[in-house]
Amino acid sequence: MRIEGKVIKYGANVDTDVIIPARYLNTSDRAELASHCMEDLDPDFGKKVTPGAIIVAGPNFGCGSSREHAPVAIKASGIACVIAPSFARIFYRNSINTGLAILECEQAYEEISDGDQITIDFDMGEINDLTTGQTFVAGAFPTFIRDIIDADGLVGYTRTKLSKERGE
């Protein structure tokens, strides 16, 4: 699995309240959630996101309230992956469950700049900054996590697995 995208960069402790403000938690419509993603932190976020864009952020990304809406809003907005030195535990698991790719890499956060064009090879755990020529190493996804993300989340993974078991 390999992606390429433009970086949108944020600092440390980006919490779920700014990823998707509580006033929008009364919907599960992905397009509606995407339209409000990051609006309290970055009102221009929606204009910056191009398909396949990648968020690079500081440590403790996704801290705060445990809301599944946060990774859903990020993914629905067109973000292909979030890279950070660390993630809040519940956000990390919610991301995998909803099919949002995330990688932990402190050096990438320190060295990659807003607007850089990068590629990510999830099988190798490599992040290449095409703008600067630098390469960073993040942990490669274990196969089962890659399978969950490829299936668009845990629900899709479970459906696929059950269909295979039934011979469908």
Burial of 91: CB neighbours in 10 Å, binned 0-12, 13-18, 19+: buried
What's the sign of the alpha-carbon dihedral 12, 15, 20, 22? negative
Distance CA 71, CA 80 (A): 11
- pLDDT bin (cut points 50, 70, 90) of residue 165 is confident
More confident residue, 144 or 113: 113
- Domain residues of the chain, as ranges? 2-166
Distance CA 95, CA 89 (A): 10
Q: Token pair for residue 168?
A: 């469908």
3-state secondary structure of 98: helix
- pLDDT bin (cut points 50, 70, 90) of residue 141 is confident
Are the beta carbons of 91 and 71 closer than 8 angstroms? yes
- Mean pLDDT of the chain, nearest integer: 94
pLDDT digits (tens, 9 = 90+) for 15-54: 999 999 999 999 889 999 999 999 999 999 999 999 899 9
Q: Which CATH superfamily is domain 2-166 in?
A: Aconitase, domain 4 (3.20.19.10)
What's the sign of the alpha-carbon dihedral 163, 92, 138, 120? positive
Is the model's pLDDT at 60 over the cut of 90?
A: yes
Q: What pTM was estimated for this model as a whole? A: 0.93
Q: What percent of the chain has pLDDT over 90?
A: 80
> What residues contact residue 93 under an 8 Å CB cut-off, 6+ apart?
none
